Structure 1
């Protein structure tokens, strides 16, 4: 499996997010405490929004903990919205096109988990992708296939509905093919303005996912903590596992739910897959 992180807030130096926390994503790439695998060394990627509408991405097949280019890049890049992912392959090749986050137009996408039976389901899943989108699939992972299914089912118009229909399609197909419990997923997607995160599995035993506590609440709890004075009120983090052990700083994202990080009040809603309607 994998580990990932989303940051949304005021512009921040990327190295402050990736390298400096006690249990940073770089630390998790080598010593994950809560993941299905301890080491996540099958490549990494970051995606960020800057002065242009379309996000930039940087990916490598090297382990994140030893990549000198990542150190150089993150020491200079500042961003208000960052996706970062360290990969542990579930069977597909270790190659750049299989590293997260995936990008299509203004959108970023990343995933931790797996689609069980993907080898058996792959043909039908990919044939369901809209023909206009199919040529843009670069890699061979179930994660990218799920992204393009979500795009096909309307992600850009309604992200929650698009993901619900994509997951519902996978579960319906798997049931008809005799594949049990096909979806294991924590997912994140963004258009550069808002972020949507999802925690769902067919068994309702999803991988870990946490979100940061409201910064204003943390300041009241820890008025002498200098770090909290440097963060804006709109700072939000969503992580596979907490970046530190400050009591009260992290809350678990509920099982079978989706969260929306957006201007104004954030939201957490139940997430229910939408199965395709079949005519008798």
Structure 2
């Protein structure tokens, strides 16, 4: 599986959350506490939005995040109000740049932790449901990228939760038709540069961990001596696969079968239910 984080709020340098925290994403790439694998060394990626750009920037590489000099250089100089970072542990697909997250299409970026069970068996049927106009943009061989392009095909531009629900329902429908009892395991982050959506769901009901940061004003009251909290707006939020440290009161778990929307500093939690065409 993988580990990831998403930041929305005050523009900060990427290194502030990638390298500096006690249990930063870089530390998690070597010493994950909650992931399936302790080590996530099959590549990394970062994606960020700049104020004067129409589309997000994406940098990906197959080397481990913990010793990549280019990532260290980028993280120390790039500042963004909304960015993604991902460290990969392959679930069977090749270790190659086009399989590293996040994935980008137009203004959208997407990253995933989890897997489609028996993807090698389901891949053709799932890919055939991708809009033919979009199909040629698929570059890699991962289940995660197919999930992204299914969501785009099912209307991500118009209704993000609805498109992800349709994607999820379709994956489960195809999987169960092939005898796969629990077809899907996922935590997902997706953004258009304005809002951030995250999802936690699995067919079995035991999803990978996902956590969001508490309100900045709450944390300032609890920890007035933490310098980082003094320099960010009250609307700053992080959503992470696992907490970046053990600061009391800093993190809350995203509930099972739910999704969050972060916009203008507010984080709303809502129930998530897969949708299958023809159901009531």
Normalising by structure 2, we get a TM-score of 0.98
What residue ranges of structure 1 are gaps of 5+ in the alignment?
Answer: none
In 2, are the aligned partners of 1:53 and 1:192 still within 8 Å (CA)? no
Q: Is the 8 A contact 2:111 2:144 kept in 1?
A: yes
Residue equivalent to 1:71: 72
Consecutive aligned runs of 4 or more in structure 1 exceeding 6 Å deviation: none
1:253 and 2:254 correspond: yes
Q: What is the aligned-residue RMSD (CA, Å)?
A: 0.9
| Equivalent residues of 1:85, 1:101 under 8 A apart | yes
**What is the deviation of 1:15?**
1.0
1:5 equivalent in structure 2: 5
Inter-partner Cα distance in structure 2 for 1:19 and 1:223: 22
Could you tell me whether the CA contact under 8 Å between 2:9 and 2:265 is conserved in 1?
no
SS in structure 2 of the partner of residue 8 of structure 1: strand
Number of the residue aligned with 1:29? 29
Q: Which residue of 1 is the match for residue 107 of structure 2?
A: 106
User: What's the counterpart of residue 236 of structure 1?
Assistant: 237
Between stretches 221-230 and 77-86, larger displacement belongs to: 221-230
Q: Which digits, 9 at most, give the CA deviation of each residue in 1:182-238, with x for residues without a partner?
A: 100000000000000000000010000000000011111122322211121111000
Residue pairs, 1:1-280, within 5 angstroms: 1-50=1-50, 51-263=52-264, 265-277=266-278
Cα displacement (A) at 1:264: 5.2
Moved more, 68-77 or 31-40: 68-77
In the alignment, the residues of structure 2 paired with residue 16 and residue 110 of structure 1 have an alpha-carbon distance, to the nearest angstrom, of 20
Quick one: distance in 1 between partners of 2:240 and 2:147? 20
Deviates more, 1:173-182 or 1:262-271: 262-271
Structure 2 SS opposite 1:173: helix
Q: TM-score, normalised by structure 1?
A: 0.98
Paired residues in the alignment total: 278
Unmatched tracts of structure 2, length 5 or more:
none
Output the CA distance in 2 between the equivalents of 1:84 and 1:227. Answer: 19
> Aligned partners of 2:122 and 2:226: how far apart in 1?
51
User: For each residue in 1:116-149, what CA deviation from the matched residue of structure 2 results, as whole angstroms up to 9, or x when unmatched?
Assistant: 0111110000000000000000000000000000
